[in-house]
Chains A and B, each alone.
Chain A
């Protein structure tokens, strides 16, 4: 597809970008990045948060967010020098030659304008179409994007569409001017795994039919594996590895790329989580259901999700680790909150050690509250920013065991040591810690109560892949040592694979599959589970053949 002169579509040479920090200095975000992209090629830019991948993606459109500027190097897109480009040149570039598909389709569409109008606006202002032409073309585009009943969809507002439909509308708007390059910034992060697969298929189709080149920015190697030919692995603003996808996934040269790959799910029977190892029943849940309260005349509660959980039965034995998988809206977080006693079940009953367990903390004994602990998702919100680590750890020790100050501090130091942290952490505030350290403190706080059951709600999903592994190891070590049972709630199948021998799969408030993790992952009996696994194992499929030389 190269032009006669052989010039690639994108030529990026030692490009550096910086942002003005609050202190007034310029901080480099992208440094010395070089790559080329031919017409019709698909490049995946992979990296964790803060790697500079989103900044690089926007730079392809000559756009830097507030305070950003080019520090050096050159970037040419279809013959336009983006670094030096001024107003008119940029106007000729954006939308016409390079188009962007942003991360969050809901917030990227104007909420008070019908979606059809939003695509028409691009056609009218950028391609000079008449309203009538624009309307017809919009419906065509919607049809090409696989949207059902384009005429009806066009009259909807963004919030009235599903996540997948919104992303299709945004892609339609990006394709409106037949760009030569489509930049996609985490295009499926806001979507469910099942929808993600469909949108990625659409992106692959679009590439084939339109001949546009793709730059796909993501943290998820599975997405790259599905769509791209080549990949660029970025860390701290620099390219650490670049090359064809199969080569990098098969033989990663740097430790960083290996870490990223390890975080992706690889089903390897020899490394399956251990078998069920319980010494008797601990928690029993029978026919538990939950739905939000109906409406009262003076206050309206959203009625669209009536039943969050429907007749759930679960058994967890002592020392057992149970994984709970599901997508957002599947009711998995609600299940955790029910067991923890934060909300009351509408129906069903719970038993703990053979005794009835009251539905909320108010009705539970102090001993029951101590023995059931919970760790939360966002590390930053897990700890009170106004309390030192010491205060956070000492409080449960005093509350549950009546330890005096000195004894509680000694115990806190022991806990910290188990999690690989020194006594000097006691006097630090949460904001002085990294995300991984914060989450380890939250784990220490939960284990301070010496629980028998620990509920972990997406505890690693806010962490970067390389940190995740470390936190999980610490968690698992403490769990084995204390023989506490765990209920691990997550959407990330690789977490389950690493630590949970038993698993249940939730969908729309119901258990659709359960059993030993190794069995379920190897031979899923439910199409939903199969879809989740399919999405999560793309990277390992490319990597697998080259594992054996």
Chain B
């Protein structure tokens, strides 16, 4: 453990990544305290330039832009974290179960995973949003299913390796139940892998959520959201470019931060293999 931390600390980019993530998480948590105005209320004229009262000016409807910027990551971050968590936990268990049982169950799981990987993420969401409505729970659920496929793949592959280990064989020869073998012998040994998967899937879920909001298929107005704000900013790209640049900077630095951290940490844990996975 000590050497892992040492290896993390020696890579400056990993530190940058961790600091960026910490900054964004703190901001998102403290946003209601920090936001100078209510982000939903029209408080001034539309598109006022930045000044002493409205530090970043107002948006096209006359709402305080700084307050909306502060609040704009909260929903996407929560959605992405929830999707990442569901994907890595459920996906990890399904992958291990496939590795444990093999046979028909494994064949079916693998085929379903392969099939789902063939459907582009945005289309997948569109299909379900068309059918089930554009609500946050639907969004989270659909995104976790999409992100789960990659996790199933990696954890299944790792599970198959682990099944050959002497301690797993010993447990099976004792007659331990499937649940016991999976939870005691297999799961703890892919915990670090799943932690990295969780971070990776959260960052890509975040990209997907904001892309969907940008397209008008994700988080709906009037909720403040970075993707939506960039979309709205396109109207005034020539006159008020900061209305785009500020949220663009926020979403980009957050995702870059997560991926820097993931890269450094998975490297330090010796999980080079996890990085090749899509």
Contacts and interface: CB of A to CB of B under 8 A. Distances in A.
Touch A–B, Cβ below 8 Å: yes
B188 interface: yes
B157 to A, nearest CB: 17
Contacts of B167: 381-384, 387, 392
A361 B107 CA distance: 24
Interface in A350-397: 361, 364, 366, 369, 372-378, 381-387, 392, 395-396
Contacts of A299: 107
B26 to A, nearest CB: 32
B185 interface: yes
B175 A374 contact: no
B25 to A, nearest CB: 28
A399 B176 contact: yes
Q: Which of B173, B175, B176, B185 has the most CB of A within 10 A?
A: B173
Contacts of B7: 22
B166 A373 contact: no
A275 interface: no
A286 to B, nearest CB: 22
A376 B7 CA distance: 33
B275 interface: no
A214 B203 CA distance: 56
A235 to B, nearest CB: 27
B11 interface: no
A339 to B, nearest CB: 11
Contacts of B171: 395
Contact of A386 (B3, B166, B189): B189
A385 B166 CA distance: 11
A372 B175 CA distance: 12
Contacts of A369: 173-175
A41 B185 CA distance: 53
B107 A298 contact: yes
Interface string A2-46: 000000000000000000001100000000000000000000000
B170 A445 contact: yes
Contacts of A298: 107
A376 B166 CA distance: 6
A445 B167 CA distance: 10
Interface residues of A, number: 34
A216 interface: no
A361 B172 contact: yes
A172 interface: no
Interface string A396-415: 10011000000000000000
Contacts of B176: 399
Contacts of A23: 3, 6
A384 B173 contact: no
Given A22-B3, A384-B189, A376 B174 contact: no
Contacts of A383: 166-167
Contact of B173 (A22, A373, A378, A382): A373
Interface string A333-348: 0000000111000000
Interface string B155-199: 000000000111101111111100000001100110100000000
Contacts of A446: 170
Contacts of B107: 298-299
A298 B175 CA distance: 31
A446 B171 CA distance: 11
B71 to A, nearest CB: 41
A342 B173 contact: yes
A442 interface: yes
Contacts of A445: 170
A375 B107 CA distance: 31
Given A22-B3, A299-B107, A382 B175 contact: no
Interface centre among B107, B164, B175, B184 (most CB of A within 10 A): B175
Nearest to B6: A23
Nearest to A399: B174
B267 to A, nearest CB: 12
B189 A382 contact: no
Nearest to A24: B10
Nearest to B176: A399
B160 to A, nearest CB: 14
A385 B189 contact: yes
A384 B169 contact: no
A173 to B, nearest CB: 31
B183 to A, nearest CB: 12
Nearest to B190: A386
Contacts of B184: 384, 387
Nearest to B185: A384
Contacts of B164: 381
Contacts of A361: 172-173, 175
B173 A340 contact: yes
A323 to B, nearest CB: 21
A377 B173 contact: no
Contacts of A399: 174-176
A299 B106 CA distance: 12
Contacts of B185: 384
Most buried by A among B107, B166, B174: B166
A17 B6 CA distance: 26
Contacts of B6: 23
Q: Kindly list the 6 A-B residue pairs having the minimum CB-CB distance in the complex, ordered from nearest.
A: A376-B166, A382-B166, A386-B188, A384-B167, A381-B165, A381-B166
Interface of B: 3, 6-7, 107, 164-167, 169-176, 184-185, 188-189, 191
28 contacts: A22-B7, A23-B6, A298-B107, A341-B173, A342-B169, A342-B173, A361-B172, A361-B175, A366-B175, A369-B175, A373-B173, A374-B170, A376-B166, A376-B169, A376-B170, A377-B166, A381-B165, A384-B165, A384-B189, A386-B188, A386-B189, A386-B191, A387-B184, A387-B188, A395-B174, A396-B174, A399-B174, A446-B170
